[in-house]
Amino acid sequence: MRITRREAVAALGAMALSPGLAAAPPVTEGHADVPGGRIWWMKVGGGGGTPLLTLHGGPGAGHNYLLPLRALADQRPVIFYDQLGCGRADSPADEKIYTIQRSVDEVDAVRRALGLDRAILFGHSWGSMLAIEYLCQGRGKGIEKLILGGALASIPQAMAGQQRLIAAMPNGGGARMHALEKAGKTDSPEYQKLVQQFYDLHVCRVPPTPDALATFDNLGKSIAYRVMNGPNEFTITGVIKDWDRRADLGRIKVPTYITTGAFDEITLDCHQTIRRGIAGSRLEIFAGCSHLTMIEQPVRYVAALRRFLGA
């Protein structure tokens, strides 16, 4: 995929968003009531394009790592929000409220609070699950386009792919990881080092930016991550562990763009399943990237999204 000089300059200029620049898009933020508490939201830009509503991953990652998408605010409002249980949103202690259905209802509550009768939906990782579930439930009135990154339509399929990646870790790292799990030593420094090795290969392949670090901090603190996902990215034992919408993807009728990195922890077969399931959808694989493509290659990623949004 080639990026023109004009696209690169536009992306870099918009990413700066320095308060000292007169051309910086306006930023507004606030809180909105949702089932179970209040979430925090931020809207960047106010152009004439259809607003882009972003759904972050985790559950519990927070909005921070998606901030490179601010570059798109020169043409349309870009809305970020921290879902309940992480970041600047409320984090109720009652574990029973952290469900997929409540999260779907939360999307509707955010749309109502911000007047998003029309929107383009962007979902990454768990956010892609949330977007798929939302549309499969028939909640998509006014959703004009869909972007899914690091995407999956089935937790069992994604977990099987992750186990293949673990088995392929260098120097027998995967086998050693499973041995430590069997021995109950997942809190050991050796196990944590192997987990980090997996993350360096398949979650973020560049030194993490401050936004990425903020997201990792969110995950470490998030009750939503612990209850809905589990202890780490490839040990999914929480509420979402059996979720599977592969048979229902045909219900999604909007133009859809799917992105993944060549080394993504959500393996290629997961993305291909979505491409086959959503008629007319398009899949793009970003060479050299893993799960956090927007952190690893932000200019290239934003340019690709801009082309889809302008289509």
Least confident of 3-17, 238-252, 261-275, 283-297: 3-17
Q: Does residue 224 surpass a pLDDT of 50?
A: yes
Residue 23 pLDDT: 66
Radius of gyration of the chain from Cα atoms? 19
Strand runs labelled E in 67-188: 78-82, 119-124, 143-149
pLDDT confidence tier of residue 15, bands split at 50, 70 and 90: very low
Residue 2 pLDDT: 39
- For the chain, the average pLDDT equals 93
Q: Does residue 4 surpass a pLDDT of 70?
A: no
Q: Does residue 311 surpass a pLDDT of 90?
A: no
- The C-alpha atoms of residue 223 and residue 90 are separated, in whole angstroms, by 11
Helix ranges, 144-206 (H) = 155-167, 173-182, 189-202
pLDDT, one tens digit per residue, over 167-193 is 999 999 999 999 999 999 999 999 999
Mean pLDDT across 193-209:
97
Q: The pTM is what?
A: 0.92
pLDDT, one tens digit per residue, over 69-111 is 999 999 999 999 999 999 999 999 999 999 999 999 999 999 9
- The C-alpha atoms of residue 210 and residue 216 are separated, in whole angstroms, by 10
pLDDT confidence tier of residue 197, bands split at 50, 70 and 90: very high
Q: Does residue 212 surpass a pLDDT of 90?
A: yes
Residue 101 pLDDT: 98
Of 25, 23, 21, nearest to 48 by C-alpha is 25
Residue 47 pLDDT: 80
pLDDT confidence tier of residue 25, bands split at 50, 70 and 90: confident
In the three-class reduction of DSSP (H, G, I as helix; E, B as strand; rest coil), residue 74 is classed as helix
- Which residues are designated catalytic? 125, 264, 291
Mean pLDDT across 2-21:
41
Residue 6 pLDDT: 40
Residue 22 pLDDT: 41
